[in-house]
Amino acid sequence: MEATTTFNDMQVHMLQMFSVNRSKRGLTELYQVLYEHYAKRMNDRLNELWDNGVLDQQRLDEINSMDLHRLS
């Protein structure tokens, strides 16, 4: 028996939206937009943590010395 994938409404909408532009340039532009969006969200969150005192230079130094590959 073959498994089927069911898409939610957002996934269907995104597939329909992106089926129009199939060029390599369109894909590159999409990557850039998504990268900028998530980079901004990450920076905003890091600034919030810094402003609230959760993150400071000492903690950044600790994180920098960690082997992050071992955490997974």
pLDDT (0 to 100) of residue 2: 80
Question: Would 2 be classed as within a structural domain?
Answer: no
- Take residue 6 and report the two structure tokens written for it: 């069911």
Question: Would 6 be classed as within a structural domain?
Answer: no
pLDDT (0 to 100) of residue 61: 95
Collect the ranges in the chain with pLDDT lower than 50: none
Question: Would 12 be classed as within a structural domain?
Answer: no
Number of domain units in the chain:
1
Question: Would 1 be classed as within a structural domain?
Answer: no
Question: Would 3 be classed as within a structural domain?
Answer: no
- DSSP string spanning 41-64? HHHHHHHHHHHTTSS-HHHHHHHH
pLDDT (0 to 100) of residue 59: 94
Question: Would 13 be classed as within a structural domain?
Answer: no
What domain range includes position 38? Answer: 22-71
pLDDT (0 to 100) of residue 19: 82
How far is it, in rounded angstroms, from Cα 18 to Cα 9? 14
Question: Would 15 be classed as within a structural domain?
Answer: no
pTM assigned to the model: 0.62
Question: Would 5 be classed as within a structural domain?
Answer: no
